[in-house]
Structure 1
């Protein structure tokens, strides 16, 4: 049974990746003249994307993922029981109510009885067809029933919500789906909440209609569209780079430029992380890749294991802010702010360089303080190796040029993916077997599943905040607590972001903080003399940056866990050392928004407000002082003169 499901998962995953790749070229093919809804309509494409996430999520859980503990899932199960009871009170037929109970039992009861989790995954995979097929058949009329849905609309919405929450629980744990349920129940029972956070209390049928029937909200909204339009193409690109044997080439090139200094292990992992970050945009994946390749180097020189793991965890998370392929948050920003992706690339350059400087400085100072020996490695790699394989960077240059010239991101990244495949099979020295290409196509969408499920959940949360007006209420509270002080408001928001990031992925952290705190931060920035457009950009980059920092901030730090799994260290202690390594990274983000001079690190806000030499001087001075601050802070953290 397991082997059959494993093979079925592979086939569906490959078909899913090929479907998304075909969507890019579809408008230029003869099939475009036939107006196939699955290929031409955004609403159906998003529904298909969500369907594939649910279907593959349950299948993957069956073949790969062990049942989770019931302790963390108990609050989620209890809240979904309340949700089900409210649904059973609706004026629908008894058969529909029985079906709703069955859906709950198959998706949520296994949380309380782990032995049921594996068989329930097959049922979940089969049930995921129902809401998708229903939407495909009825999409033309569903949009008109978003406020007053029909009984079948409501049962399909109820089913889709529980199926998605079940997938998220299986892939990422209980915290994210629990947060979704908190927001959903808040909308239902907000009339019982006292004070400013009180709401009228919304009918469940209206909420179910909004979540399932609307095209720009709920489950299939614009944030979910980010996963469809952008993220799948970058995870596929990253999988192709790895499976086409380019990962080792990139690592060898990094080693070529670091020499035999005692600091070489730290230097090499920094360069590897930056180079791989250009392709993947995945922090935990980059951390594991870098850790695997550099662990022997750290051991040869004699680094403390926790320091080495902390350095690796910190450099791994740099993938999120390394242009041109950054983390998923950057594409959410494109949608929310309606700005070109190239603008985000420009704004990410400064923070990325300062972040990297902090890591490199810490590494160099640590090595000198500990008086570590030279790195003794035997390798035949020389500069001719770089010349032989420098073509590996052509797709990245291609991406930068195409984005600069205004081409869509999905077309650009798809073309770069095909370039990598072409180069791999054209070069006999690395030519992979055909099976590697199949694995790359499989991993393209499989690697997306935890991210995509979190994106869908974030879209659900955002929709419920819009319905309840919670964002405006939270902004009022933040303004009152901070006393209209931008310093206090940013500190509170930064801490809130780090705490939130302990339980949810960076993309969900950004979506929540941008909805709840961005209006207040932006308003205070404008009051402090930052132009409106600059304040908007700086606010969201600040939230972006702190959402990323949660990856390396204990006690829950995914990059730290990835590094510790390879280095054999305690994950909590690794997280503490990751937070210490390049400590200035926590101050860099705060400076974006405190004053107009702070926005110079982002470059673009200054270029929009100033021109010529004035802008250049303004940016140069800010970078000079920021570089000095990073160096001096690391001297203190390492205790170099002690």
Structure 2
């Protein structure tokens, strides 16, 4: 009989861990000396990235090429050509998972050389701009092919397919119908743009991946190896476990803390869900809802400032604003969404008549804090570096990593000195943890590096002259209606996101639709700030992680909870509707992004009222407030949400000049609904 899936050692947790490992480590598990090959390369990659963040000075093109070379080598050594076993004579190596076959080793070496070609002949290529030699053409085409194959192996067929469609379109544009006709490009121009300049594969997304994203992923990997994940979970449980539906509230807090640095919804689910999902089930949440709550909080972890996954840094580059301005713009929607999720878990607990954990079941707050307070130090260092002296994100992450490495090196030795044991053995254990963290950081970065490079193919093709055509096509599809265009963009982001990592999805959609949103809105006399358009795309790219029928985060959570994956995905998406509505609102109410909002009081006022709006929306969609809502109360709650999200619209409708006064009307209506339901609950105690 298998162990209980509700425990960390249960089959469900193991299945979820397998999903995470397949995403991060690949399918191949070699034996013998080959077992150490990929970890050694991943370690060298991490050391290289730390070097360029501290003492090693290299041209940015060199950095991008070396970064991509490391990623391609790891992909071809870790992921077989085909996922299934191949039984054809002489071709079994295509699906080999227990050793690294010679053909894949050769391919890894050739792929690395193709990525490094722009470095090896840097001056020659610069002197032949627009006139690539035969060798340039051969290597450039080969790089595109192996990169698309690497993307297929590590993140699936969606991104290579889209890049392939754009590539074909670049050549066959002149033969398309007039509506979508494009002048087309020559093979030489395509190769020069995509493979031999910084306008395609080696463009901005790969540059951000190489200079910034890697260090934050490495920081998250080191935190995980240090044991910070368990500390965050226990700390959240000690603070919130005693409340109604406490484990769910603790899951929200713990996933918020880990999600800020992990950048992966699946990693969040496995790290926190292994502990929180069984506890949620224990206090009365059905398996499907327990898993869905964990999926919702883990997905939203990528929205949380100050890090926001990898895409935040790319947004800063694309919009040409500072990273802190991106964080400032994203703060109110992200925190409002998270506070609303706390509220949602409370509503679910109220529906089901749940209890919190007993005192005996809960960890003691001060004991937990004392045992792991030092895990907060590197995070505080990171925040200080980003906010006070306003150092660059890569420098801030590097210094936080140094502080974390010192903590990891000595934490076991200090505990051994206090509780008895060998401090020398503790230092050895700390060094081993650091080594594992460096290896894990390199392996975790493979998908991001390959995705950003492959998405660069699409970006490069668009910059060949497709940008204006795409705007015209989107305008025609939406018939110039901004609302319809936003809906089309949101649906496209969700559909693409089912097969793409969040970062790649954002890059593709930002390249295709964000400029179009701004342009078409301008044609209608409506101003959409560029940061609002980019955040709109970013939000729906993240929500794709729990969108059925793919949603890998939902599969991981359902494996732990022993629930149906598709049903879990639908339930999680119903919880995330509160997040999906926010991008539509901040397009029309840029106060939510603090654009043009000054002072100290007004931002908090807007944040509070936005939270009230999301709470009202959650109560309407979940059909529960103090008690079960009636049909007219749902209408009133949606009215509160609309007023709080679009105060300017309401003010114009009733003829009020100061739209900030509209918030007070919404707040009064919300208080009235609360009073009505409280009165009904007292009259009918059973209903509550």
Question: In the alignment, which residue of structure 1 is the partner of 2:596?
Answer: 606
- The answer for the alignment partner of 2:338 in structure 1 is 356
Task: Choose from 30, 42, 46 the match for 1:17.
Answer: 46
Q: Decide whether the 8 Å contact of 1:191 with 1:198 is kept in 2.
A: yes
Contact preservation (8 Å) 1:196, 1:473: no
> What are the within-5 Å matches in structure 2 for residues 491-506 of structure 1?
491-506=487-502
Distance 1:465 1:520, change over 3 A: closer
Give CA deviations for 1:129-163 in whole Å, capped at 9, x if unaligned.
Answer: 33245333211121232422101111111221122
- 1:309 and 1:567 in contact (8 A); partners too: yes
Match of 1:26 among 55, 61, 64: 55
Counterpart Cα distance in 1 of 2:289 and 2:544: 19
What is the CA-CA distance between 1:50 and the residue it aligns to? Answer: 0.7
Deviations 1:352-394 (A, max 9, x none): 2222133222211111111234434535523243255333222
Q: Distance in 1 between matches of 2:282 and 2:215?
A: 38
Question: How many residues matched?
Answer: 581
The alpha-carbon distance between structure 1 residues 634 and 354, as it changes in their structure 2 partners (threshold 3 A), is farther
Cα deviation 1:417-462 (Å, max 9, x = unaligned):
1211212333323954422211110111100111111111111110
Match of 1:562 among 542, 552, 556: 556
Q: Classify the secondary structure of the residue corresponding to 2:201.
A: helix
**Equivalents in 2 of 1:231, 1:223: separation in Å?**
10
In structure 1, what is the equivalent of residue 17 of structure 2? Answer: none
| Structure 2 residue 435 is the aligned partner of structure 1 residue 438 | yes
TM-score normalised by the chain length of structure 2: 0.79
Q: Which residue number corresponds to residue 682 of structure 2?
A: none
Tell me whether 405-414 or 622-631 shows the greater mean CA deviation: 622-631
2:324 corresponds to which of 342, 346, 370: 342
The 3 A distance-change label for structure 1 pair 527 and 497 is same
1:135 aligns with 2:118: yes
Q: Which runs of 5 or more residues in structure 2 are unaligned?
A: 1-29, 417-425, 631-688
Identify the residue that residue 367 of structure 1 maps to in structure 2. Answer: 349
Match status 1:49 vs 2:67? yes
Q: Distance in 2 between matches of 1:219 and 1:612?
A: 43
Q: How does 1:175-254 map to 2 (within 5 A)?
A: 175-214=158-197, 216-254=198-236
* Conserved? CA contact 1:188–1:202, under 8 Å: yes
Does the C-alpha gap of structure 1 residues 408 and 524 become closer, same or farther in structure 2, counting only changes over 3 Å? same
Aligned position for 2:621: 633
Residues 118 and 14 of structure 1: CA distance in aligned 2, closer, same or farther (over 3 Å): closer
Q: If the length of structure 1 is used for normalisation, what is the TM-score? A: 0.84
Matched residue, 2:274:
292
Distance apart, 1:21 and its partner CA: 0.4
Assess if the C-alpha contact under 8 Å between 2:408 and 2:430 holds in 1. Answer: no
The DSSP-based 3-state class of the residue aligned with 2:563 is: coil
Is the Cα contact below 8 Å between 1:366 and 1:640 reproduced in 2? Answer: no
- Aligned counterpart, 1:267: 249
SS in 2 for 1:556: coil
- Say what the alpha-carbon RMSD is for the aligned residues: 2.7
Give the whole-Å Cα distance in 2 for the aligned partners of 1:612 and 1:392. Answer: 30
What displacement does 1:289 show? 0.9
Counterpart of 1:538 in 2: which secondary structure? helix
For 1:278 and 1:40, the matched residues in 2 are separated by 29
Tell me the distance in 1 between the aligned counterparts of 2:510 and 2:382: 28
Q: How far apart in 2 are the matches of 1:407 and 1:111?
A: 51
User: Counterpart of 2:450?
Assistant: 453
The 8 Å contact of residues 65 and 116 in structure 2, kept in 1 or not, is answered as no
1:406 aligns to what SS in structure 2?
coil
Q: Which stretch has the larger CA shift, 354-363 or 252-261?
A: 354-363
CA contact (8 A) 1:164 1:453 kept: yes
Structure 1 pair 591–272 and aligned structure 2 pair: CA distance change class (3 A):
same
